[in-house]
Amino acid sequence: NAGVMQNPRHLVRRRGQEARLRCSPMKGHSHVYWYRQLPEEGLKFMVYLQKENIIDESGMPKERFSAEFPKEGPSILRIQQVVRGDSAAYFCASSPLVYTDTQYFGPGTRLTVL
């Protein structure tokens, strides 16, 4: 059973470009969470999704950031018009369909904005 997969692992963008980060949850998991980690800090919650639904986006910046988890395919975190402050590691976590609290994390995408 493969773990949570994220791609790309590293992404470099220039200011003003768009960044798309992908997350494939573990098999059988239908809950996806996105977190952001700045250097030498803990992870900060961004958004929680189930298939085709955004359940909690209280941690998402109001502008430029969006997330989706379609019926088919991976979850996407999209950042439009990136700025240098968006440089961070973005982690995706998933948990199973049956209600459980344990979240399993992917390896992360390290976004660098030049």
Partner 1 sequence: GESVGLHLPTLSVQEGDNSIINCAYSNSASDYFIWYKQESGKGPQFIIDIRSNMDKRQGQRVTVLLNKTVKHLSLQIAATQPGDSAVYFCAESPSGSARQLTFGSGTQLTVLP
Is 95 a residue that touches partner 1 (CB under 8 A)?
yes
Judged by phi (left if over 0) then psi (alpha if -120 to 50, else beta), residue 58 lies in alpha
How buried is 34 (Cβ within 10 angstroms: 0-12 exposed, 13-18 middle, 19+ buried)?
A: buried
Least distance (Å) between residue 81 CB and partner 1: 26
Is 41 a residue that touches partner 1 (CB under 8 A)?
yes
Nearer Cβ to partner 1 (18/41): 41
Nearer Cβ to partner 1 (39/72): 39
Say if residues 112 and 87 touch (Cβ distance below 8 Å).
Answer: yes
Binding stretches for partner 1 (CB under 8 A) = 4, 6, 31, 33, 35, 40-45, 48, 55-56, 58-59, 91, 95, 101-108
